[in-house]
Structure 1
Amino acid sequence: MVRAALSAIARVRVTAIYAVALVAVATEIGRLGPDAQDRVIRHASTNLHNLSHGHVGTLLGSAFVVDAGPVAYWLPGLVCLLGLGELLWRSGRLLVAFAVGHVGATLLVAVGLTAAVTNGWLPVSVARATDVGISYGATAVLGALTPAIPRRWRPTWVGWWLAVAAAVVFIGTDFTDVGHLAALLLGMAVATRFGTPQRWTRPLLVLFIVAAAFGFLVLASAEGTLLQSATSGLAGALFGTAFTVVRTLRQPTTVHPPAGSLDAAAGLGVP
């Protein structure tokens, strides 16, 4: 039994190590006073102020500092999402997806904010905004699940998530919503190079349900966006399903000739 447990943990070792690290960091921060906690979060933030002063270490450190409430609220969902990604794609590819989403979305948001501040579209104070957590990396892993979705359901999956993320960007006022959309697209893009995923099993389907619910809550976490983003997601899913139906109907069918005909003897089908 112990050997089986160790073998199972080894298959999701990246997820397990990351979860332990998050709990350890959250525990240490929780022991600090409110002012000290604020200082830690400010120093770990990947905001324009820190990045412009050469604090590139925040690109890594920010992934271990979470200000989204008690660990018990978000860690189980995160573990299910990352664990699913690791079981489907293996540890190395999970790391690639998470890193590309976390770092890539952060830098893309930084470029956009720099342009917005320079042109006066946003106040200078946004340069010191708090930006820490696991949401960019987690959203990228969510997007990286796309090639593992069965082909006939893939457009529905893509339509749902793109519509949800886009709706939150349109409704919300937080730049992190744009980062989530960027991370989702980055995850979808990088996973096209991952090859063949592991086969789906019932335990993976259970993880999938929890992971999808967690991913939706990450994207639609802003106040007042839950219902609108869900409605938009349903519309996107219906569009994706319609795309699948139309594509299926347009596929040519092969009519096999009767046995003994010249075409059958030649091994040819009649279109």
Structure 2
Amino acid sequence: MRWLLKLYPRQWRERYEEEMSAVLEEHGISPATIIDLLMGAIDANLNYGGFSEGVMYMANRLRSGMIMVFCAFMLFGVGWGMLQRLNDPMSLFQAANKVHPEFGILHTAVLIVGCLAFVALLAGGLPIFFISVKRAIKTRKRDALVPFWVALSCLLLFILETAILADWHRIAFAEHHLVRFFLSYLTLVAIELIVGTFSVSLTISRTDFQLRELKFMLVPEIVILFGMVVSVVLSTVLIILITAYAPQLFNTQDVGSQMFITGIIFMALGTIFAWMGLRRGAIKGFNQLTQV
């Protein structure tokens, strides 16, 4: 299979061909390896820039791209959460859905696809995060442990605040100042989301990963981006249909059309940033991934 390496540009072969040939002879070639080699050859011919793109450089690109996708999904998730309020109050939404059943279909589809993207984020991101925390603890790397504890604190505070919110009717302040109580909760959650996202990103960015560990995040990233794109398209179609046939759904008990439009904007921006992160990590990295 040495002929596959001839598909790579001359500069790449001068630097990596002998090493790559030795790796292939030692480990053998599987169908997945052939696919990696072919994809790497395409990317190398399109993007290879010379000798600066070593393994460490590509690991940094993959890591930064992964962090971009993670942060982009957090932004997307805020907008996605806003769109879930379309069926509140449920009675009004169900009445409109009887006349236009496509409302319910689209709303459910957005929910399912968004959840699929979230599951992909957990499947790919949690192992990376656990590796990062484990190495930080093992090496006592303070600059990675501190943001981890900050992120964990944000999560615990969110759980505590949500538990309090679930029992709001027993709180005197909430009974007399319901709007201020809910706004305070949303403000705290927004702050914790921002701080927690930033802290997780710092923990990952300050960890030295092996290239083989990072490359397995590429498939979940593709699934995440797919879910985000589909959610944006379906949500946009849903908003257009509601605007045309049931604008009364925008005037629910505490929100209006501005909230849902803002949600679409957040989802779209998150999707764009996720695409940029995936492109940074995947397209530029395939030629180096084949060396691991």
The bucket for the TM-score relative to the shorter chain is: under 0.3
With structure 1 as the length reference, what TM-score do the two structures score?
0.27
Q: Which has the larger radius of gyration?
A: 2
With structure 2 as the length reference, what TM-score do the two structures score?
0.26
- The structure in which a higher percent of residues are helix is 2
